[in-house]
């Protein structure tokens, strides 16, 4: 097989058969004599398995003025073929032409902008994608210095040329209207830098969409803050529902730390309401009049995170507007920056975040002036950061910088007594949103909701209640309306306590307000105890289950000597 693109082909692919008598070779020598009729010629002796590249290097080392032919040796170390100098030179020319055609085809096929410069920063290749992204024709660029078209400060190829450094997927703004991810590296030949190459992926549209999303999210947070101030100026924690000991303990701890400027690290499973706690801490702090800015470390591409956090300096580039884009850290000056899913932050970005937190100042992307901020940090994660530190996936110094005050939010399965209250809250919420009466929920449905483990926590419960509100028939929510994962537990056991409105209608009630069958085996005291057990001691939920007011329940508990701490 003749060489097409590579110099790694064996020399034998170009050799013509030759008799051993036509060549005289001394053992161990790399030179020989080829007998051609009445004249002899010096030849270079090369193993037939030697590559074209190695054969070419041996020719370059030939010290005589004329270029010799090559004689190949087989494994038995006897002459097997002849490669004339002309034939070898023709092969090199063909290979160079093929490689040039391959390179041009490859560059123009790629969707990324590719630029190749020599050691003097003169452009040798500028593909079609580069023409489209930067709107500069190839004829105008090739053969000219790259800094004739771009400000030298915005050319990352210069770092590769002058310092020999490489970059991988670095966010870059070569022009004020272009955002790219750049890979750049020097081109080396025998250790010397002979040029550099850059491969740039256009992410301008992605940045634009991300900015629109950021603006919309910021607007939403502003509206939420205004609603919070209007609805509960005296209690920022009003949005966090539940009276269980677990959630109340978390709320009390959050109230105390809110009065300080300490950094808070919120732990909790997905859906427990970590951002609600972060917003409440901000609203209860001295920074309540300043911005609350949230950034999801797991939702933003790593390449864009630096510009999202620190912003970029538009005026640093040719033709840029004087104003750049401020980052989240700058926007949160004087207020609170909420770093959600901090455990998803890549290691290389953790270093930059740590430096900004330690020094309380940073540089915009493309900027040269430091920006000093006074921002409180509240971070949240559903990961075990201690384990990530031990595994080398989270920086220990950043962990201790964030872990000043730890706040753990209990999952819903550890506060089941709050489920009846949350269910009624969500039912009312969706009834108002859909302009319909609040549906009733049957006892077995309520029991199934209490018994479920809720891996998605309150977010999952809210979604299930929305589904039930949609599927309810005649104002009643039945077991068949439940998702299959929850429905399987609905009839696992009969309810321990008969339920009454608002959960289900009853045919016969006692003067106290809850149902009594004529031959009921349960006394009133036993029914109250069963209701308290079933609601994990939640008095309001137990009163609802029994169909009486909370005050009546307390009177009954005193009457029968039932402890309030149950």
CB 314 within 8 A of CB 320: yes
pLDDT computed for residue 159 by the predictor? 80
Give the phi and the psi of residue 168 in degrees, each rounded to 5. Answer: -130, 120
Q: How far is 428 from 475, CA to CA, in rounded Å?
A: 13
pLDDT in single tens digits along all 566 residues of the chain: 567 778 888 888 888 887 656 777 777 677 878 887 777 788 888 888 888 888 888 888 787 777 888 888 888 778 888 888 888 888 888 888 888 888 888 888 888 889 999 988 899 999 998 888 888 898 999 999 988 887 765 577 788 888 888 888 777 777 777 888 888 899 988 888 899 998 988 888 877 777 777 677 667 656 655 665 555 556 888 889 888 899 999 999 999 999 999 999 999 999 999 999 999 999 999 999 999 999 998 888 777 888 888 888 765 444 434 567 888 999 999 999 999 999 988 888 898 889 888 888 888 887 788 899 999 999 999 999 999 999 999 999 999 999 999 999 999 999 999 999 999 989 988 888 888 888 888 888 888 898 899 999 999 999 999 999 999 888 889 888 998 888 765 444 444 343 333 333 333 333 333 333 333 446 788 888 888 877 767 777 777 778 787 778 877 888 888 875 55
On the CB side of 68, CA atoms within 13 Å amount to 24
Other CB atoms within a 10 A radius of the CB of residue 427 amount to 21
Asked whether 95 and 32 are in contact (CB, 8 A), the reply is no
pLDDT value, residue 317: 41
Query: Virtual CA dihedral for 323, 325, 330, 335, nearest 10 degrees?
Result: 110
pLDDT (0 to 100) of residue 378: 96
Return the number of other C-beta atoms located less than 10 Å from residue 191's C-beta. Answer: 6
- How far, in Å, CA of 447 to CA of 70, rounded? 91
User: Which residues, including other chains, have CB under 8 Å from residue 22's CB and lie 6 or more apart?
Assistant: 34, 35, 36, 79
Is 566:532 a contact under the CB 8 Å cutoff?
yes
The pLDDT of residue 290 = 93
Residue given tokens 């269910």 in the structure block: 423
Q: Can you spell out the DSSP letters for 398-454?
A: HHHHHTTEEEEPPPGGG-GGGHHHHHHHHHHHHHHHHT-PPPEE-HHHHHHHHHS--
- The C-alpha atoms of residue 126 and residue 197 are separated, in whole angstroms, by 10
| Inter-residue long-range contacts of 88-93, CB under 8 Å, 24+ positions, other chains counted | 88/14, 88/52, 88/55, 88/56, 88/59, 91/2, 91/3, 91/14, 91/52, 92/52, 92/56
CB–CB of 516/510 below 8 Å? yes
Tell me the chain's radius of gyration from C-alpha atoms.
38
Cut 0.75: pTM above it: no
User: Looking at residue 64, what is its pLDDT?
Assistant: 76
**DSSP states along 146-200:** GGGTS-GGG-THHHHHHH---EEEEEEEEETTEEEEEEEEEEEETTEEEEEEEEE
Q: Identify the H or E element spanning 532.
A: helix 524-534
Model pLDDT, residue 224: 59
Q: How far apart are CA 110 and CA 530, in angstroms?
A: 71
Task: For residue 544, give both structure tokens.
Answer: 């609802």
Burial 443-480 (b: 16+ CB within 10 A, else e): bbbbbbbbebebebbbebbbebbbebbeebeeeebbee
Q: What are phi and psi of 477, to 5 degrees?
A: -100, 125
Q: At what angle do helices 52-60 and 85-109 cross, to 10 degrees?
A: 120
526 is written with which tokens? Answer: 């036993």
**CA gap 78, 59 in Å, rounded:** 20
DSSP secondary-structure letter at 68? P
**398 φ, ψ (degrees, to nearest 5):** -70, -35
Contact (CB, 8 A) for 375 and 335: yes
């Amino acid at each position: 097989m003749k060489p097409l693109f590579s110099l790694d082909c064996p020399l034998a692919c170009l050799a013509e058969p030759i008799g051993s008598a036509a060549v005289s070779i001394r053992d161990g020598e790399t030179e020989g004599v080829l007998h051609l009729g009445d004249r002899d010629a010096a030849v270079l002796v090369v193993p037939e398995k030697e590559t074209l590249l190695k054969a070419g290097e041996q020719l370059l080392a030939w010290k005589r003025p004329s270029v010799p032919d090559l004689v190949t040796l087989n494994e038995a170390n006897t002459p097997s073929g002849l490669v004339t100098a002309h034939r070898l030179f023709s092969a090199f020319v063909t290979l160079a032409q093929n490689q040039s055609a391959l390179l041009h085809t490859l560059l123009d096929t790629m969707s990324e902008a590719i630029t190749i410069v020599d050691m003097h920063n003169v452009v040798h290749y500028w593909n079609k994608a580069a023409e489209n992204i930067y709107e500069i024709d190839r004829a105008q660029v090739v053969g000219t210095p790259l800094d004739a078209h771009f400000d030298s400060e915005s050319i990352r190829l210069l770092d590769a040329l002058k310092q020999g450094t490489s970059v991988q997927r670095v966010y870059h703004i070569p022009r004020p209207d272009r955002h790219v991810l750049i890979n750049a590296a020097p081109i080396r030949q025998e250790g010397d830098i002979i040029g550099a190459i850059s491969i740039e992926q256009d992410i301008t549209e992605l940045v634009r969409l991300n900015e629109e999303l950021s603006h919309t999210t910021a607007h939403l947070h502003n509206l939420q803050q205004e609603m919070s101030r209007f609805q509960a100026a005296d209690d920022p924690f009003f949005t966090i529902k539940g009276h269980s000991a677990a959630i109340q303990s978390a709320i009390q701890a959050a109230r105390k730390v809110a009065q300080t400027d300490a950094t808070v690290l919120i732990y909790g499973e997905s859906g427990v309401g970590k951002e609600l706690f972060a917003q409440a801490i901000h609203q209860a702090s001295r920074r309540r009049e300043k911005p609350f800015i949230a950034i999801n470390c797991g939702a933003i591409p790593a390449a864009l995170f630096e510009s999202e956090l620190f912003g970029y300096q538009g005026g640093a580039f040719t033709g840029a507007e004087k104003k750049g884009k401020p980052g989240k850290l700058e926007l949160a000056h004087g207020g609170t920056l909420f770093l959600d899913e901090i455990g998803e932050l890549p290691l290389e970005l953790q270093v930059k975040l740590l430096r900004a937190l330690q020094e309380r100042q940073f540089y915009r992307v493309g900027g040269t002036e430091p920006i000093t901020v006074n921002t409180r940090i509240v971070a949240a994660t559903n990961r075990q950061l201690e384990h990530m530190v031990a595994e080398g996936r989270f920086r220990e110094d950043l962990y201790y910088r964030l872990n000043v005050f730890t706040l753990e939010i209990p999952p819903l399965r550890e506060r089941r007594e709050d489920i009846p209250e949350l269910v009624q809250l969500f039912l009312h919420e969706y009834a108002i949103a859909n302009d319909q009466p609040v549906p009733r929920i049957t006892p077995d449905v309520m029991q199934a909701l209490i018994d479920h483990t809720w891996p998605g926590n309150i977010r999952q419960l809210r979604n299930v209640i929305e589904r039930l509100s949609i599927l309810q028939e005649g104002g009643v929510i039945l077991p068949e309306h439940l998702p299959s994962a929850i429905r399987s537990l609905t009839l696992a056991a009969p309810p321990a306590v008969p339920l009454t409105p608002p959960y289900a209608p009853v045919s016969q009630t006692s003067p106290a307000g809850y149902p009594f069958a004529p031959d009921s085996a349960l006394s009133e005291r036993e029914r109250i105890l069963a209701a308290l057990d079933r609601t994990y001691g939640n008095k309001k939920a137990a009163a609802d289950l029994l169909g009486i007011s909370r005050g009546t329940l307390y009177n009954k508990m005193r009457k029968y000597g039932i402890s309030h701490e149950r």
